Chains A and B, each alone.
Chain A
Amino acid sequence: MRRVALATLRHDLVRTVLLVAGLASAWALVTVQLGLRRGFELASRGLLDHVGGDVWVSARGVKVIDDAEPVLASVLPVSLDPCVLRRRPLVVDFAQVRLSDGSLVTVQIVGVDPASRDRVPWSVLAGVRGEIDSAGLVGIDAADVSRLELKGQGMGQALRLRTGVPLRVGVVSRGARNFTQTPYVFVDIETARRVLGLPSDGASFWVLDLRDPSCAAAVSRSIQGPSLAAPPREELALSTTRARIEGSGIGLLLTVGSLMAGAVGAAALLQSTMTLVRTHLREIATIRALGARRSELAVFVAWQAGIVSVLAAVLALALASALAKLLEGAGLSVVVDAWSWAVGLGIALTSTITAALVGARLLGRVDPREVLE
C-alpha cells in the first residue's frame, strides 16, 4: 500500500505540490506566530531576567517593570532581613532624545549601579559593558541606531537629551530590546538620576540579592507595607509579561492567528484526503472487492497523509526560518525554541492523525459493490 500511496501522490503531482505548499505555509505561520509571541514574552521580561536578583522592591501597585514611581532609600526598612546579601538600585523611566530636525524620540533610560554593570546591557556587540559610567558614556541597541539618527554602529556618537544632558554611545548591544520597541538607553545610575531629576537616593526598584533564594517569600513579607511592594522577581516578571502580552491583546491575536493557521492546515489535509477518496473511489472499491482489509486501506491513507505531512514539515521549517530572519531584520524577535517547535509539531501531528483517521473511516465505508456497473 505504501507504493500505491507514493505512486498516487506522484501521479497527482499538481495536487500534491499545492497541498504540501499550503500545509507548509500554514504550519510556518503557526511556528512564526508562536515564535513572535515567545519573542514578545522574552522582550517584556528581558530586563528583569538580565538584572537578576531575588526580590524587587518598588512603590506599591507596580505591576509592570517600566511603570514604576521612584522609591527613596530612606523609605526602605532600616534593617533588612539578614538573608539579604545586598541591594542594588535600578532606575527605569522614560526620557526624550532630540533629533536633528528638532523632533523628539521617546527612549527608556535604564540606570544601573556598578554592582549590576556586569549584567546590563546584555548581548554586547561593540564596546565594553563596564565603560558605562557617570561621565555620560551610555549603551544602546544596534536596532535603534538609525532611529536615533546615529551613523554606523553608533559608537562614540552623541545623543542629545531634551533636558540638555550630553551623552555619548560607548556600548552597542544586539537584541537588548523592550517589548514596546522603545529604545533602551543604558546609563550609569548617577547619570540616570541626573537626567531624570531624581533624588540622589532614588530608584525605580531596589533589587535584593539574597543569601538563600528560598527566603524570598519571608523577605517580601517583611518589606511590603502600605507604600512598598516587594514581589519575588518571577512574580514581577509574570505580571509584566501578562500586562504586556495579554493586556495589549497581542498575545490573544497571535494565539488566535496560530490556531487559525493550524485549523486551515488541518482543513486542507482533511479536504485533500476526502478528495482522494472521492477521486479514487472505484480503484479503492476494486481493491476492497479483491479482498483488501480495512487496515490495508487505512495504511494507504496514513501513508499519503504521512508523506505529505513530512514534506510539508520540512518546507515549513525552511519557510519559518526565512520568515523569522525577515522579521528580525524589521526589529521583531522571533524565538523559535523547543517550545514553539513542540507546539508546531503537535499541531502538525494532530492534523495528520485526524486526516488519516477520517480518511481511513471514509475508506472503510467504501462499498465494494461500487465496482459493479
Chain B
Amino acid sequence: MRLSGCEGVTHEFDDAGSPVVALANVSLDVAGGELVLLVGPSGSGKSTLLSVLGGLMKPTRGAAWLCDTPLTELDAEGRARARREHLGFVFQSFHLFGALSARGNVECVLEMKGASRRDQVGMAERALRQVGLGARLDHLPAQLSGGERQRVALARALATAPRVIFGDEPTSSIDAKSASLVLEVLQGFVDASRCVVLATHDPRLYPIATRIVTLENGAIVDDRAPSR
C-alpha cells in the first residue's frame, strides 16, 4: 500500500496580482516505517506540502495519495472521508475544544468515525493513558499545561488508529519534557504499515527521524537519512 505521497505537485496562487509558486514540481513517497521531517525556512512550502499530502487542499497540478486513495481526484467531502479513515493530525497550537474535557476532545473524533458511545469512552481513555494523561481525563484544556494540551491533541490523533500521522510544528510550543514524551509516542507509532510526517524547525526531532526532506522556495533541495 502506498501510504502517503505526491507526484509532480505544483501549487501556484495569486498574491495581490503577483503569481506565487508555493510548490514547484514536488514528488515525495513516504512508506511504512518512516518518520519523515519536512524542514526548511519559513515560506519554503512545508505547510503547503503538508496540506496537499493531508488532502486539506488540491494543488494546481500533480497527484497526491493517502493509503492508496487518490486525494487529488476527490472533492472536499471525499478528501474529508479519506482523512477521517486514515489520518491523524497534530498541530502547533493544539486546537482543542475549550468547552470539552481532555476525554471529550478525544471522544469527539471517535464519534465522527462512527464509534459507539461505549467504544468512544474506552478508546479515549486508552489513548489518553498512552500519552500519560490517565489522571487528567476530565480536565478542561484551560486547566492543562501547554505540554499536556499537546498530549491531548496527540491522543486525539492516535485514538482513531490512523495509518498516517501528520504534524505541524508539534513540539515548538511545549517544554522539553513534554516534547520528549510526544516524540517517544510518535516513534512508537511508526511500524511497517504506519508512518509519520512532521513539518518542523525543531532540531530536537532530528534524532528520531528516518528521513529528512529539506524544502526551499517550494522545491525539495535535499532528501536524506539523518547522520547518526
Residues on A facing B (Cβ under 8 Å): 1, 3-4, 7-8, 10-12, 280, 282-283, 285-294, 296, 367-369, 371-373
Contact = CB atoms under 8 A, between A and B. Distances in A.
A372 B108 contact: no
B109 interface: yes
B83 A289 contact: yes
A371 B168 CA distance: 9
B100 interface: yes
A293 B77 contact: yes
Nearest to B83: A291
A100 to B, nearest CB: 67
B24 to A, nearest CB: 19
Interface centre among B80, B83, B87 (most CB of A within 10 A): B80
30 contacts: A3-B100, A4-B99, A4-B104, A4-B108, A7-B97, A7-B100, A280-B97, A282-B93, A283-B95, A286-B89, A286-B91, A286-B95, A287-B108, A287-B109, A289-B54, A290-B84, A290-B88, A291-B80, A291-B84, A291-B85, A292-B112, A369-B51, A369-B57, A371-B89, A371-B168, A372-B51, A372-B56, A372-B91, A373-B168, A373-B169
B204 interface: no
B81 interface: yes
B85 A282 contact: no
B143 to A, nearest CB: 13
A372 B47 contact: yes
Contacts of B83: 289-291
Contacts of B51: 369, 372
B98 interface: yes
Given A8-B99, A371-B95, 8 more contacts: A3-B104, A283-B98, A290-B84, A290-B109, A369-B56, A372-B47, A372-B51, A373-B169
B161 to A, nearest CB: 13
Interface size range of chain B in the complex: 35 or more
Interface of B: 47, 50-51, 54, 56-57, 76-77, 80-85, 87-89, 91-93, 95-100, 104, 107-109, 111-113, 156, 168-169
Contacts of B100: 3-4, 7
Given A290-B84, A290-B109, A371-B89, A285 B95 contact: yes
B51 to A, nearest CB: 5
A7 B81 CA distance: 25
A371 B153 CA distance: 13
A3 B107 CA distance: 10
A197 B214 CA distance: 109
Nearest to A372: B47
B93 A373 contact: yes
A289 B89 contact: yes
A289 B56 contact: yes
